[in-house]
Amino acid sequence: MVIRRLLILLSLVTCLPGAAQEDDDFQRATPGYAFSFPRDHGSHPEFKLEWWYLTGHLREVATGRRFGFHTTFFRAALRPWEDEAKPPATPLFDNRQAFLAHVALLDVATGKLHVEERLNRQGWDAMASVADLAVTNGNWSLIHKPEQPTGHTETMTLRASILADARFELTLMPLKPKVIFGENGVSIKSSTGNSASHYVTFTRLATEGTLQLLGNTYRVEGLSWMDHEFSSSQLGPNQVGWDWASIQLIDGREIMLYRLRHRDGTADPASQFTWIDGESRQTALKSDAWEWKARRVWTSPDTKANYPIDIDVTCMDPENGQKRRLRLRPLHDAQEIVAKLDTISYWEGACEVLDETGEVIGQAYVELTGYDGRLGDRLR
């Protein structure tokens, strides 16, 4: 999403020696930013925060067995990037950047969620290129290969593992043009203040590869979604968290939405709802043209947080101007990412999308943050 997924990282890096405390030391997301690709797929150390985030729905080719995955590579500045050309005093352990990464895999058949997270300083074990997308954290990596003069389509390769339980290597190929969310290149995150980001997304990625899980090997294929955001400012003074969803419909369209929640439970006017058509053209809905409502609450046995899940999204469909309801039903309730590095946890769930008749018309990922009561204070 959105403000995304700094969760644990921000709370950690602000406590490290030499960590930068002031957003004013960094470049901010401002209107008119001149995007240039593939450079802007890469890292932006002049901004305080950055993340490359992927979610996907996979099926085994042979049997149709279903899996959901999400992988996030975070970067956070520990101090201002004073001079990119100036080498750090200790190149193997650069004290200017910290990298956190999450990998999670849902085995739908068993309901088991496999999770691992990592935190490293920039150096020999974690880094991100400023020229193109090439980010690593240990043996986890996300590498972009630009379109070739021969006409070969651009691709990304994702490699990751989860402890000794799982390992996967996936190739992701865009099926439609990338999307830059927001107005004039800026995605606003608060109706007050200057919280904002630059937000680039591939909403539909054909995905194929190999997944090893608990000693078994699966050939898998499916669809993924990739967000890349960079910014230096996050939640507003009255915000406590967000609800976010990426929706991929069978008809070839997508929806990106997020609700920025105030302390009293109301949504910030800066919340966003955007339809993406088959050519990646955007239609943004006004705040009174859509609604988000949970059918039930799931209580985490680990953190005791109460997550409102099984979401009804009511909205106007720009194709016909009619109101419709989309149900985002979890493939499994227990999809909380229980943080081991800090006290902030969140729910990141693979869902199927149903229409009013109960027919499955797509797939989604939903993120619910701030329900443990700590996130808002950490992101201001």
pLDDT in tens, 33-43: 999 999 999 99
- Binned at pLDDT 50, 70 and 90, residue 21 comes out as very low
287-340 pLDDT per residue, tens: 889 999 999 999 999 989 999 999 999 999 999 999 999 999 999 999 999 877
Which of 125-129, 259-263, 340-344, 374-378 has the highest average model confidence (pLDDT)?
125-129
Measure CA 179 to chain center.
Answer: 14
pLDDT band of 147, cuts 50, 70, 90: confident
The per-residue pLDDT for range 178-207, each reduced to its tens digit, is 999 988 888 878 776 678 899 999 999 999
Q: What was the pLDDT predicted at 376?
A: 45
Q: Give me the pLDDT at residue 29, please.
A: 85
pLDDT at position 235, please? 63
Burial 330-352 (b: 16+ CB within 10 A, else e): bbbbbbbbebeebebbbbbbbbb
Tokens representing residue 27 in the block: 């470049």
- List, in order, residues 6 or more apart from 248 with CB less than 8 Å away: 203, 204, 223, 225, 254, 353, 362, 363, 364
pLDDT score, position 236: 65
Phi and psi (nearest 5°) for 133?
A: -75, 110
- 102-123 pLDDT per residue, tens: 999 999 999 999 999 999 988 8
What confidence tier does 81 reach under pLDDT thresholds 50, 70, 90?
low
Residue 95, pLDDT score: 74
- Averaged over 76-99, what is the pLDDT? 70
What is the number of other CB atoms lying within 10 angstroms of the CB of residue 9? 26
CATH 2.40.370.10 holds for 7-378: yes
pLDDT attached to residue 184? 87
Residue 132 gets which letter from DSSP?
S
Number of other CB atoms surrounding residue 1 within 10 Å: 27
The per-residue pLDDT for 89 is: 56
* pLDDT mean across residues, the chain: 87
68, 202, 224, 352, 359 from 109: Cα distances, Å: 11, 28, 20, 15, 21
pLDDT score at 238: 74
| For the chain, domain boundaries | 7-378
Check residue 183 and give its pLDDT.
87
Confidence bin at 160 (pLDDT 50/70/90): very high
pLDDT at 364 over 50: yes
Look at residue 49 and give its three-state secondary structure: strand
Lowest mean pLDDT among 69-73, 133-137, 151-155: 151-155
Predicted TM-score (pTM) of the model is 0.91
